[in-house]
Amino acid sequence: MHVQEWLEAVPPVAIYALVSLVIGLESLGIPLPGEIILVSSALLASQHGEIDPFVLGACATAGAVIGDSIGYAIGRKGGRPLLAWLGGKFPRHFSEGHVATAERSFEKWGMWAVFFGRFIALLRIFAGPLAGVLHMPYWKFLIANVLGGIVWAGGTTAVIYYVGVVAESWLKRFSWLGLVVAVLIGLTSMLVIKRKARTMQAQDAAREDGAEAEAVAAAE
């Protein structure tokens, strides 16, 4: 069933709870389609007055901030063994290459990696747990987490809602385009991250081969 058709059959309170829960679990570190659910709900709010866009945006923001905070706490307590465990459970999302790419982003950007990671599908599930694993100061994490959650969740809700209001008649016939755009953005960002991950893995392998060669030469 079409995501939006399914949402139309759900009471507004349940939609608020669903959006908050899915985004919260995604931010916690569980690969879920939070962005697709949020875009679908915002489109639905633009066409049905029962759903309040302000409440929807607030619920999405709360889910993002709380989920990231829980992920941070779990990552800080679990450490690198947690990443290894996640890699075994979700190898497509928590592979060594993806973790290395995310770590590099954190080393380069610090707290801003948490903020900008909110807008990238793959980094969205990494931000909280990895910030905890790397022992980022909580006050820095919290600032970036709250700002990122407000801008991403609130901003996405506002943009999609007002686009739906302006083009309501058009979106009623072609509402699937909004979901297609969201999926394409998510897939593109994931492909970029995967390409960077493969490049980093190749570089690491080359460095290891070089180090081994030097060790052999020194031994001889």
User: How many Cβ atoms from other residues are within 10 Å of residue 85's Cβ?
Assistant: 12
- DSSP-assigned letters across all residues of 166-195: HTHHHHHHHTHHHHHHHHHHHHHHHHHHHH
Rounded mean pLDDT, 131-145:
87
Residue at 120: amino acid letter? I
| More confidently predicted of 142 and 169 | 142
What pLDDT sits at residue 150?
92
Read off the pTM. Answer: 0.67
Q: How do residues 170-212 score in pLDDT, each as one tens digit? A: 545 555 555 566 556 656 655 665 566 456 555 655 655 555 5
Instruction: Give yes or no for residue 95 having a pLDDT over 80.
Output: no
Rounded mean pLDDT, 8-32:
85
d(CA 40, CA 56): 11
Contacts (Cβ under 8 Å, ≥6 apart) of 19: 37, 38, 41, 56, 59, 60, 63
Rounded mean pLDDT, 155-184:
66
| Residue 215, both tokens | 């060790």
What pLDDT sits at residue 23?
92
Triad 97, 141, 28: Cα angle to 5°: 60
